[in-house]
Structures are given as structure tokens and as C-alpha cells.
């Protein structure tokens, strides 16, 4: 979709202001050169705001979806509400993850302007750049369900990607979607912790925020990785910057912190809720609560 926020407001019949998880045009011309998709911003008087996180609007997409079952699949596909369950990973996941990591580093991130800005975002079915201005047009490069999409204004071109299995690419997109949804809620809940934007870093291919007080020694990275040299499967993580941690909450392999493996996450009744609680519990522990 050329404009996720505009599409969302159209889905609501033009009766509400809407916020989503994905970047939307117009391009932002000053640091951090990216929008904050869930920020309430300016809401016209007399209009209600529908948000993907509670305490950021008048209504949540999850509440809207509960009232309108026909809208629920659309919300679920974008990780706005009516959250779906993650599925067991396809056998091709690891191979596809490696291929898409190379695309993120070598194709998608370098397309972003300004040229020294590399952070990416969750986009439906995958990941992509924030919108950037090029030649007077709002542009985006993204991977959507295993295809490379280049968008300029309202015009899109698509091409298949070699070495990418569509089912595995969809699984990766859903993992990022769940993580983005949970991170945005954590970020909205813990504003006193000076949370950073939710960003997807092409070097490590993880989606994450920074949260907590650096001066008090409680700041940490909260995020989700699709897997790496120390982890065959995706996992959620919390990595304290400076705090010395120990005990059953801090079980990470290959780094100081905590992790929750994909295979364990999907045993929960509520996958998004379990992801959010994993992060909240570690955040509270770092605060001494």
C-alpha cells in the first residue's frame, strides 16, 4: 500500500484519525529522518484517534476489530489488533533469513536517504525503509512477502528475490510484526524510560528499542532477532547496557541478558502478550521493582 495510515483511515470509513505500525509518507526532512507511526500527534477537534497501542488514543484497533469481525483479518495481517498466533517455522526459514539479511544490508538500507541513515522498520509482510524524498517524490524500498518492492509516489515495481521461500519470508514478517507491536506498547507504557524509536537494524537484522536510564545504569536494548550464529531460531531479548545481572531471569547465550526462544514463545496462549510480559518483567527487574 502506498500509504498505510491513509489506507487505515479509509478502512475506518473516514470517521477517525488512525495510527499504524508502519511508516507512512510524507518523508521527514530532519533527524531522525523517519516518522513515529504511533505518535498521537495533532488530532482535529471532534475526531477520535484509533491506535495500535492502548494509552495512545481514544480507541485501539483491537477494540475496533472486536466490534467489527470483518475488519479483524485486516488488522491481524498488519499486527494492529485481533492478533494472530505465530506458526511453527518452515524448514526453509534459516536459509531465507540469511538471504533476506543480505538484501536488508546490501539493497534496502543503502537505498535510504540521507545516505548515512541505515535504520529500517517493520512493514507488512517484512521490512523496509522509512519514506524518504528523492526527486520530489516520497519513496520507499521494502521486502513484502518475499518480493522486493520499490515505491515512488503511488507507483510500485516488484521483483522476486532469489533464495527466498515465500512461506519463510511471511514467517519472518510476522515475527517482526509481533515484536514491533509489543515494543510499541512497551514504549508507550514506559515513557519515563526515554524510549527510542522502534527500528530494525540491518547489520544484525534485529528490531529493537533502547529503554531505561543510562545514568542510573538501567538502560537496556529490548528487541527481537530472527536468529544468529549463537541461535538457530528467532528469539526475543533484553540486553542491559551496564547493569550486572544474574539469576533465572537472565538466561542469554552469547551475550549478557535475557532471551526467549521462538519455540518457547509459541507455546503461550497469547503470543503477543507473552512477548510483552517477557520484556516488562526484565524492565521491572532492572528498575528494582
Residues 6 or more apart in contact with residue 204 via CB below 8 angstroms: 225, 228
At residue 205, φ and ψ (nearest 5 deg) are: 65, 30
Q: Verify that 162 and 196 share a domain, yes or no.
A: no
Q: What pLDDT score does 14 carry? A: 85
3-class DSSP assignment, residue 31: coil
Q: Which CA distances in Å does 65 have to 60, 61, 180, 280?
A: 9, 6, 19, 25
Q: What pLDDT score does 198 carry? A: 98
Q: Verify that 150 and 199 share a domain, yes or no.
A: no
Q: What pLDDT score does 1 carry? A: 58
3-class DSSP assignment, residue 83: coil
Domain final position from 166, 193, 214: 166
Q: Verify that 180 and 146 share a domain, yes or no.
A: no
Q: Verify that 33 and 58 share a domain, yes or no.
A: yes
C-alpha 151: how far from its chain's center? 20
Q: Verify that 265 and 207 share a domain, yes or no.
A: yes
Q: Verify that 222 and 280 share a domain, yes or no.
A: yes
Domain final position from 121, 141, 166: 166
- For the chain (length 289 residues), average pLDDT per consecutive 10? 91 93 97 96 92 92 96 98 97 98 98 96 98 96 97 96 96 98 97 97 98 97 97 97 96 96 98 98 94
The one-character DSSP state at 191 is G
Domain final position from 166, 182, 197: 166
Q: Are 21 and 177 in contact (CB under 8 A)?
A: yes
β-bridge pairing 49-51 and 17-18: parallel
Q: Verify that 33 and 99 share a domain, yes or no.
A: no
At residue 141, φ and ψ (nearest 5 deg) are: -120, 130
Q: Verify that 46 and 120 share a domain, yes or no.
A: no
Q: Verify that 162 and 182 share a domain, yes or no.
A: no
* Residue linked to cell 526462544: 261
Cα-trace Rg, the chain: 18
85 falls within a domain: no
At residue 273, φ and ψ (nearest 5 deg) are: -60, -40
Q: How many domains does the chain have?
A: 3
Q: Verify that 161 and 237 share a domain, yes or no.
A: no
Q: Verify that 67 and 35 share a domain, yes or no.
A: yes
Range of the domain at 237: 174-286
Q: Verify that 145 and 198 share a domain, yes or no.
A: no
Amino acid at each position: 500500500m502506498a500509504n498505510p495510515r491513509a489506507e487505515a483511515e479509509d478502512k475506518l470509513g473516514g470517521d477517525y484519525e488512525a495510527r499504524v505500525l508502519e511508516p507512512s509518507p510524507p518523508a521527514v526532512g530532519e533527524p531522525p529522518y523517519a516518522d513515529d507511526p504511533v505518535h498521537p500527534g495533532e488530532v482535529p477537534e471532534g475526531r477520535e484517534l484509533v491506535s495500535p497501542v492502548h494509552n495512545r488514543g481514544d480507541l485501539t484497533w483491537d477494540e475496533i476489530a472486536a466490534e467489527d469481525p470483518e475488519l479483524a483479518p485486516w488488522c491481524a495481517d498488519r499486527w494492529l489488533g485481533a492478533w494472530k498466533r505465530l506458526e511453527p517455522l518452515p524448514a526453509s526459514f534459516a536459509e531465507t533469513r540469511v538471504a533476506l539479511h543480505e538484501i536488508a544490508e546490501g539493497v534496502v538500507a543503502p537505498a535510504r536517504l540521507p545516505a548515512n541513515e541505515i535504520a529500517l522498520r517493520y512493514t507488512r509482510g517484512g521490512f523496509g525503509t522509512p519514506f524518504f524524498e528523492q526527486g520530489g517524490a516520497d519513496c520507499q524500498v521494502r521486502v513484502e512477502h518475499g518480493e522486493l518492492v520499490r515505491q515512488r509516489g503511488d507507483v510500485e515495481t516488484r521483483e522476486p528475490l532469489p533464495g527466498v521461500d515465500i512461506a519463510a519470508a511471511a514467517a519472518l514478517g510476522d515475527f517482526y510484526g509481533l515484536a514491533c507491536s509489543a515494543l510499541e506498547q512497551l514504549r508507550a507504557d514506559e515513557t519515563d524510560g526515554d524510549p527510542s524509536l522502534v527500528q530494525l537494524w540491518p547489520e544484525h537484522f534485529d528490531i529493537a528499542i533502547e529503554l531505561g536510564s543510562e545514568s542510573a545504569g538501567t538502560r537496556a536494548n529490548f528487541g527481537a532477532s530472527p536468529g544468529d550464529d549463537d541461535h538457530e531460531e528467532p528469539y526475543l531479548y533484553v540486553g542491559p547496557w551496564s547493569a550486572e545481572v544474574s539469576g533465572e531471569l537472565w538466561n542469554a547465550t552469547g551475550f549478557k541478558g535475557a532471551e526467549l526462544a521462538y519455540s518457547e514463545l509459541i507455546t503461550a496462549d497469547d503470543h503477543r502478550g507473552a512477548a510483552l510480559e517477557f520484556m516488562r518483567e526484565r524492565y521491572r527487574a532492572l528498575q528494582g521493582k
